Structure 1
Amino acid sequence: MLSRTASELYWMARYLERAESIVRVLDVTYKLSLMPIRSQQNQDLNLPLSLTGTHALFEEHYTRLTITNLLNFFVLDHRNPSSIYNCFQAAWNNAHSVRGSLSAEVWESINATWIEMKLMRSKGVAKVGTDTFFDWAKERAHLFRGAMFGTLLRNDALCFIRLGTLIERAYATAQLLGVKDQQLDVDPDPVREYYRLDTLLRAVSAREAYHSLYKHPVSRETVAELLVLRNDMPRSLRACVGDMVLQLERIGGQRANIPRRLAHTLHVELRFSTLDEVLAHGLQAYMVHFQGKINGLADSIHHTYLEAL
């Protein structure tokens, strides 16, 4: 496969996964903004800005930090590189460039998403409905994955799509865990802490899985175990890295030793770690360490496969 084709597929998947991750964070932020306890509302509203590092850009274009301004900034604003509108546009551009490597169903799922996104942008989120938009965006992501798994050949194209998805997903989960842990450390209200943990589980579609696996009340420790170390949780760090290892092994190639070594090393670290070891220096510090490892792996994949020789 040509480096350019692999790069387009990889980034198509990353942008689609990034859009879904932002939708999930916005959904959590929106629900927290509806809570009657208002003392730390600004801290909750800052969550998407903290995750994307866009505080300065937001303040440049909006005078007040409100949920309405936040939704406009992260859903529709073309000036925000992390907006859902820009993510879907970038994913469509990449998919259009490699149309021949995609099945008709995969292409149609992406093309229809972009067309509908443009229509929604012309109406505005308020007219569409906030919850309706969130449900639509997550549904489009599920449709893409269903078409991908159901119709694409099990070849290098699928592997690069999966790698892009998994890199983005692992990084997003680590970011969310790190920022949420920082918020919870300074939150004296146990009711609000519980609600934040519950919304965090909802953000990664893990609420039902949590209550199936753990028969006691939600706690930071068990949430961390679920989203870091459990291999049976699709969005956990261990599950994402384990799947990356499989995709890199399938791609193979004589030049692939460095990314494979990095992925295997990180997988072994997660596989044989205990919760006490993860929490020993603080969950936030562990997440920062993990994000550095994932960035290193992503750079290695880029240099090995995605740069033209």
Structure 2
Amino acid sequence: MLGRTANGMFWMFRYLERAENMARLLDAGLRIALTRDLETAESEWRSVISTSGQRAAYEATHDGYTGVQVWNFLLRDKENTASVREMLGLVRTNARAARNAISGEVWEAVNEGWMQIDAKLSRPVSPSQISEVVRKIRRVGTLVHGAVTNTMLRNEGYHFARAGTFIERGDSTARILDMKYYLLLPSLNYVGSSLDSGQWEQVLRSVSGDRAFSWLHAGQIDARGIVKFLVLDDLFPRSLAFCHSALRRHLAGLARLHGREGESNILMREADTLLADLTSEMIFDQGLHEFLTDFMARNAAIGRAIAEDYRFLS
């Protein structure tokens, strides 16, 4: 497979994951803001922008933090190069570049999804429309992933697509947990204590984990339990452990097809060694922020190594 095609597959699914994650973050912010007074709602929308990593860009053009301002900035603002509309446009561009490596069903899901979302985001999104728009964005991701699973050969293209998905998903979960954990804690003295269950549920909603966590923990929501679930539970498809396990399998698949391992496989094994025997107590002893920062740095290094190993720019 040409490096340009591999690059297209890898980044197509990174951008798709980013768009989905943004929709989940907005959905969680919307739910909690609707139950709060004006001041608390503004604080929640500020945290959504901060978690997305776009606070500087937002504050360069906006004075306040109303819901309408925030979601239109994140969804469709022409000045925001990381908007959902821009991300889905890049998904379609990369899908076109890798057209010979994806099935017809995958292309149709991407192209039709883009056209639907582009039409929805061609005008400012009103409060009466936001829930529907968020659902449609998430639905596009679901349909594309379903088409990949059900129609694509388990070849190089498939492995690059899934590697892109899990690199991005792991980074997003770590970033959300890192930002939200400290935004929700008024003081370090509260670490590990039982706080407002509604706000901690919002953390879980940000990664679509609220129902799964409830099933596994009988509805008992606490900070340490959420950290353990989102970092170490390899049954949950958005946990850091699950993402790294899946990424390892797809990198191993690429190594088998190419008849050699690369730097990305070496870095993957090092990351696995660090996660293998980890406990939640060890994470808190190290410091949650420090652990997550290290995870994100290693995750990014693996992503760069994949590009080098498979000559994405060739």
TM bin, normalised by shorter chain, reads over 0.9
Match of 1:13 in 2: 13
1:240 matched residue in structure 2: 243
What is the Cα deviation at residue 66 of structure 1? 1.1
The structural deviation recorded for 1:26 is 1.0
**Stretch moving more, 213-222 or 143-152:** 213-222
Detail structure 1 runs of 4+ shifted over 6 Å in the superposition: none
What's the CA shift for 1:61? 2.1
- Give the total of aligned pairs: 308
Deviations 1:195-231 (A, max 9, x none): 1111221222212211221136200111111110011
Bigger mean CA deviation after superposition, 2-11 or 250-259 = 250-259
CA deviations on 1:138-177 (whole Å, 9 max, x unpaired) are 1111111100000000100000000110011000000000
Match among 229, 234, 238 for residue 232 of structure 2: 229
CA–CA distance in 2 between the matches of 1:303 and 1:255? 14
> SS at 1:126's partner residue?
coil
Cα displacement (A) at 1:37: 4.4
Paired residue for 1:111?
111
Do the aligned partners of residues 192 and 137 (structure 1) sit closer, same or farther apart at CA in structure 2, a change above 3 Å counting? farther
2:276 corresponds to which of 271, 286, 291: 271
Deviation at 1:254, TM superposition (A): 5.7
Cα separation, 2, equivalents of 1:7 and 1:128:
38
- Distance in 1 of aligned mates of 2:235 and 2:261: 27
SS at match of 1:4: helix
- Establish whether residue 280 from structure 1 lines up as the match of residue 279 from structure 2: no
With 3-12 and 205-214 compared, the bigger mean Cα shift is at: 205-214
- Cα offset, 1:302, TM superposition: 1.4
Quick one: percent identity of the two aligned structures? 27
Deviation (angstroms), 1:57? 1.7
Cα separation, partners in 2 of 1:288 and 1:152, compared to 1, 3 Å? same
Are 1:170 and 2:170 matched, yes or no? yes
Q: Is the Cα contact below 8 Å between 2:49 and 2:55 reproduced in 1? A: yes
Secondary structure of the corresponding residue to residue 82 of structure 1: coil
User: What are the residue-to-residue correspondences of 1:38-49 with 2, within 5 Å?
Assistant: 38-49=38-49
- The corresponding residue for 2:182 is 182
Aligned to 2:217: 214
Distance 1:283-1:262 versus aligned 2 partners, 3 A rule: same
Partner of 2:161: 161
Q: Does 1:258 align with 2:263?
A: yes
Cα distance between partner residues in 2 of 1:73 and 1:237: 28
State the AA in 1 paired with 2:21.
S
The whole-number CA distance in structure 1 between the counterparts of 2:55 and 2:143 is 32
Structure 1: stretches of 5+ with no match in the other structure: none
Alpha-carbon separation, structure 2, partners of 1:54 and 1:193: 26
Deviation of 1:272 after TM superposition, in Å, equals: 1.3
The correspondence of residues 69-84 of structure 1 with structure 2, limited to 5 A, is 69-84=69-84
| Shift in Å, 1:255 | 5.8
Query: Is 1:198 aligned to residue 238 of structure 2?
Result: no
Q: Which residue of 1 aligns with 2:56?
A: 56
Q: Is the 8 A contact 1:10 1:161 kept in 2?
A: yes
The amino acid across from 1:293 in the alignment is R
- Counterpart residue identity of residue 158, structure 2: L
- 1:82-125 deviation line (CA, Å, top 9, x unaligned): 21000000111110111111111100000001111221123432
Hey, what does 1:293 align to over in structure 2?
298
Query: Which of 213-222 and 118-127 deviates more?
Result: 118-127
How high is the TM-score relative to the length of structure 1? Answer: 0.94
Which segments of 5 or more consecutive residues in structure 2 lack a partner in the other structure?
none
Secondary structure of the equivalent of 1:168?
helix
Looking at structure 2, the residues matched to 127 and 30 of structure 1 have their Cα atoms a distance apart, in angstroms, of: 10
